[in-house]
Amino acid sequence: MNQPLKAKLVAMLEVVYPALDCDFLAEQLLQTMGLAPNQAPPPAHQNNWDESDILLITYADTVQKADQKPLVTLRQFLNDCLADTVSAVHILPFFPYSSDDGFSVMDYLAVNESHGDWEDIEAISEDYKLMADLVVNHMSARSRWFENFRKRVDPGKDYFFEGNPRDDLSAVVRPRTSPLLNPVQTDDGERYVWCTFSEDQVDLNFANPKVLIEFAGIIRHYLERGVILFRLDAVAFLWKEPGTPCIHLQETHELIKIMRLLIEHHSPDAVVITETNVPNRENLTYFGNANEAHVIYNFSLPPLLINTLVTGDCKHLKTWLMSMPPAQMGTTYLNFIASHDGIGMRPTDGLLTEEEKQRLINTLDSFGGKVSYRRTADGRDQPYEVNIALYDALKGTAETGADHWQLPRFLCAHTVMLALEGIPAFYIHSLLATENDLERVENTGRLRSINRSQWQLDELEQELENPLSHHSKAYHELKRLIAIRRKQPAFHPNATQFTLHLGLQVFGFWRQSMRRDQSIFCIHNISDEVQQIALSDINLIGTDHWLDLISGMTIDDLSGSITLKPYQSVWLSNRE
């Protein structure tokens, strides 16, 4: 009997578990997922996205209303304010949790009662593509599984990765300064558990295939509840092997392929997204050969774009863009400038010098930012991320400090992001131009809280209706830009992209639709001075009629020039 899915799965499993009966393990996984061994594969290199796709990133309880569950309020806000703006919603971990604003999951199969229930999640999934976190690397120290680990009973007895303090762990790549191994008292003595991120986030042991089977069941549950986009959180650290860096190991890549294989055979339109906050070259490996992640976060974009706008120099952004490989069909980038986390500094490794990194950090510090650190193998603490609200990150320049160009600079950043190859993602606080929440940092004691504010719905609606409010100005202009973007075939996430050379104060690139019937020249003044650009430098085709999609300005004389005000952008297109 022909069983192509099972055969493919067995081959992958044998890489991860060479000593096990992988034929039997494959049968268990397929049964857990409700898949037949000969299940038909999805179409190869299929793009499950187009130019109309815009992702919103939000916590379940970012927008609140008295006497109403936050997931109900979120759906109301989405339908009232963003139904014509976003196509997909990433609701950050909405499960019961013990710390880290949701990423210390206590129960993967439950919705946090204070947020709502699965019916509320399903209701949102009916109107929007729903993205959820698959927190695969670690689980809460207060979870039932970990309680069972302490009691030495199943399920959970051997679900967590244990380390030995006598092992040489000097090569392990750390994203934090906290201890890697933590002693835990169990019913059969003291054991040391591996904690990549915090003492409350204990790393799972995927060397035990039961953990993989458990996650197959979790994945199926999410799919059946309307989740179609899977964000694999902190997945680069998944497989541990003392004596190695314990990041990007071959088994990790193979496990991602296995999860993708199961997910896309269950739901051909599902998408796997890897969250790997690492240097650019390492990040790109998660595409595999178009058989691993469908989508990878473009982690180098936020620090490089912010650095460009606060220095008025696009040299490094341009160099990076020229070096980025076009994504194969069936894969693409997720472009973002801000998220619930900080602005990562590791993705600038090899792209900015140490002096340039420090200048960026100092600039953001002067705008109210806070620096989080990681510990290196030689025991030094290095900046890991800068915690700051994006609106305040762009309140001035490195040279002169805060100025009156904050809003135009902020809008310019998003105009760049909207036009780049890939899918644009807006963190809700960027869409709303929320400022640093220093009071929340003081209340929680966590630096990341600076960009995790909560809005009362009535207060938010008042701000968005007030034409003098910077929240309203940013929100309405971003909605306008998004509406324009969603109609342009040249902005398909996989459409052609070439970098333009227009000097250091003007950042430009060319997009061409996949049918080659639309070209858009995306040109951005990234400085606080007026810039003049000769149209002859852009090579507009003389037989076409050109207009700026943003302002409506038409180009009649191709031998002339255009003048860009500080932080002004144009999208010059040969069709409306």
Active site residues: 233
Cβ neighbours of residue 439 under 8 Å, at least 6 residues apart? none
| Helical (H) or strand (E) element with 237 | none
Q: How far apart, in whole angstroms, are the C-alpha atoms of residue 285 and residue 142?
A: 34
HSE value, Cβ hemisphere, 13 Å, CA-based, for 530: 4
Measured over the CA atoms of residue 208, residue 212, residue 217 and residue 222, the dihedral's sign is positive
Nearest to 242 by CA among 283, 197, 279, 207: 207
Q: How far apart, in whole angstroms, are the C-alpha atoms of residue 6 and residue 319?
A: 44
Q: How far apart, in whole angstroms, are the C-alpha atoms of residue 318 and residue 337?
A: 16
Other residues' Cβ atoms within 10 Å of the Cβ of residue 23 = 13
Indicate the burial class of 126 (C-beta count within 10 angstroms; 0-12, 13-18, 19 or more): exposed
User: What count of residues does the chain have?
Assistant: 576
Tell me the CA end-to-end span of the chain in Å, nearest whole number.
54
Q: How far apart, in whole angstroms, are the C-alpha atoms of residue 138 and residue 196?
A: 8
The DSSP symbol for 351 reads T
Contact 478, 411 (CB under 8 A): yes
